[in-house]
Amino acid sequence: MISRGRLLVSALALLVLAGCDGKSQAPHGMPPAQVSVVTVSPHPVTLTTELPGRTAASRVAEVRPQVSGIILKRLFTEGAEVKAGQQLYQIDPASYEAALETAQADLAKAQATVKTAQAKADRYAALVRIKAVSAQDYDDAVAALAEDKAQVLAGQAEVRTARINLAYTRVYAPISGRIGKSAVTEGALVTAAQSTALATITQLDPIYVDLSQSSSDLLKLRRAVAAGRLSAGGADHAAVTLTLDGDMPYDHKGELKFSDVTVDAGTGGVEVRALFPNPQRLLYPGLFVRARIEEGVRPQGILVPQQSVARNPDGSAMVWLVAADGTAHPQPVSVGQALDGQYLIDSGLKAGDRVVVDGLQKVRPGAQVHAVEMKG
């Protein structure tokens, strides 16, 4: 019984000593919180904007007859590629060949008449000097010669017209491109300047992409260029890339051709058109695409990870900076465009600032932190 009491006293004494030792080893303050930071380093940043759009053929030609007649032949395959100047149809030329022959005969007759009138005028010129004919007779001969010469000119014009009409019986492709279905077959009667096209040719290479850019975004861009914050090489040289349906990138880069000079009253947008090569004919008119336009370059752009930017209750943006003495403090910033998981900072940061990226929940104004540079 005595032994058990002694053991109990000894155990209590050990517990007291252990408690005293633990209290003496406790730290007097919490260690600084560890945070990950990135050091601000300005560098050129290319600004882009993504706009929805639709493709449109760069050239479309509706093939129509310029003379009337019966279609004798169709000389193309529907849906095939045709070249400019390739014959597409043959209209019956018989009546136009006859009209050309008639015009040539009339011209020959007029030329023969001129020879007779010229000889008469020459004879009268000699006779009027010796008063063998009256001056009035001579004047009549000269006038008849001039009239006959005019008939020759009219005959020559008739021959040219007849030749043109005969040439129009061969219907050619005005442009290169893909031809659609034919509206007529052999044996059909067509008329000059008819409303229905014989066929339509669509040029697919190159191809246009029509976009609509917000007028407010366009104004911001121009103000940034005017203020010197952005350098642009000119709208006519801006590079454009495409993303097709299903987030499939298009292999060929395009070029911005023009921006419209008026704002659409209904949408508030400005029409933008880009031109893309289309050698494989992957793009066809009416296709929905997304275009990314390189608007310009900010020479001293500052980018920070998006997770480093916090929002105040009033919607303003801020980041946490680590000062040289290791203390953290908030810094208001003006946030611009989002680029690949980062924000472009318009104002509020400078080169060398250390921005907290991870561990934001651990920092307090003026608190000491242990800053570790974020890798990657």
Q: Where in the chain do CATH 2.40.30.170 domains reside?
A: 47-58+203-298
Please check whether residue 330 is in contact with residue 320, taking contact to mean a CB–CB distance below 8 angstroms. Answer: yes
What does the block give as tokens for 155?
A: 């005959």
**pLDDT score of 22:** 38
Q: What are the start and end residues of each CATH 1.10.287.470 domain in the chain? A: 94-167
pLDDT, position 224: 63
What does the pLDDT read at residue 300? 86
Q: What is the mean pLDDT of residues 341-370?
A: 91
Q: Which helix (H) or strand (E) holds 147?
A: helix 135-168
pLDDT value at position 20? 40
pLDDT of residue 1: 37
- CATH fold of 47-58+203-298, please? Elongation Factor Tu (Ef-tu); domain 3 (2.40.30)
Q: State the average pLDDT for the chain.
A: 85
C-alpha separations of 58 from 180, 237, 273 in Å? 16, 18, 11
Does the domain at 65-92+169-196 match CATH 3.40.449.10? Answer given as no
With cut-offs at 50, 70 and 90, classify the pLDDT of residue 337: confident
Q: Is the pLDDT of residue 111 over 90?
A: yes
Q: Which of 75-79, 182-186, 253-257 has the lowest mean pLDDT?
A: 253-257
Considering only 69-78, 104-113, 124-133, which range has the smallest mean pLDDT? Answer: 124-133
Mean pLDDT of 19-25: 38
**What's the pLDDT at 237?**
57
Residue 175: Cβ-neighbour burial (10 angstroms; 0-12, 13-18, 19+): middle
Task: Identify the architecture of domain 94-167 in CATH.
Answer: Orthogonal Bundle (1.10)
pLDDT at 262: 77
Within a 13 Å sphere around the CA of 376, how many CA atoms are in the beta-carbon half?
3
State the span(s) of the chain assigned CATH 2.40.420.20. Answer: 33-45+301-373
Identify the CATH number of the domain defined by range 33-45+301-373: 2.40.420.20
Residue ranges of the chain that CATH labels 2.40.50.100: 65-92+169-196
pLDDT at residue 245, rounded to an integer? 77
